[in-house]
Chain A
Amino acid sequence: GPKVLQIPSHQIIDMGQMVTLNCDPVSNHLYFYWYKQILGQQMEFLVNFYNGKVMEKSKLFKDQFSVERPDGSYFTLKIQPTALEDSAVYFCASSLEGQYEQYFGPGTRLTVL
């Protein structure tokens, strides 16, 4: 089936540093999402993105977070600066316009020390 790729699979950084998580969505999908999962528990929505714009964001999407997809390349989540509570697995997802199913990547495990 359609695959979403995420790079890297694991990132370890020091608190206060910047990190960029990369997502390669399904090729013809138009909607992109980031979710956060802590300790294999609840998945929580961060943001969705369409046509170059943030459509909706949750309260977890702090001012230190930003997303972009320059020129149809990777869809990225940037955190600057990072905090200890940002340690989690971040999942990217994508969907077709009008389709309801979101396809998820394998996740990036972020560890902030």
Chain B
Amino acid sequence: QQKVQQSPESLIVPEGGMASLNCTFSDRNSQYFWWYRQHSGEGPKALMSIFSNGDKKEGRFTAHLNKASLHVSLHIKDSQPSDSALYFCAVSINSNNRIFFGDGTQLVVKP
């Protein structure tokens, strides 16, 4: 069974700083990768997806995927207090299949 592990468990960064979140997965057949963000009391919402090796940048957010090393990461530049949330790495083997979630990284951005 797919194992998805995230580090760190929690992260505190100053406003304007860089936050780096890491994720490893175990199934080499994995094809689809997302970062979901969940604010307290809400459901998770997809932040960005990455399906090919390399970097994908959307505004202040950059995702990196290396399938060979079974690793995906998310970097948040110029972090804002509104970025404070629980971030999940999510992995799927096929479209419309189950998503395997990591344990989450709790990000706190201090003003």
**Interface of A with B (CB < 8 Å)?**
4, 31, 33, 35, 40-45, 48, 50, 56, 58, 91, 93, 95, 97-107
Contact = CB atoms under 8 A, between A and B. Distances in A.
Among B36, B41, B51, B98, which residue has the most Cβ atoms of chain A within 10 A?
B98
Nearest to B40: A40
Contacts of A104: 36, 43-45
Contact of B98 (A58, A91, A98, A99): A58
B86 A97 contact: no
A48 B100 CA distance: 13
Interface of B: 32, 34, 36, 40-46, 49, 51, 86, 88, 92, 95-104
A101 B33 CA distance: 10
B98 A56 contact: yes
Contacts of B103: 41-42
A48 B97 contact: yes
B69 to A, nearest CB: 22
Contacts of A91: 43-44
B43 A107 contact: yes
Contact of A43 (B45, B97, B101): B101
Given A101-B34, A106-B42, A107-B43, A42 B101 contact: yes
Contacts of B100: 45
B98 A101 contact: no
A100 B99 CA distance: 10
Nearest to B106: A40
Contacts of A40: 40, 86
B2 to A, nearest CB: 10
A55 B42 CA distance: 26
B81 to A, nearest CB: 19
Among all A-B residue pairs, the 3 with the closest Cβ atoms? A104-B43, A43-B101, A45-B98
Nearest to B100: A45
Contacts of A4: 43
A56 B97 contact: yes
Contacts of A107: 42-43
A100 B49 contact: yes
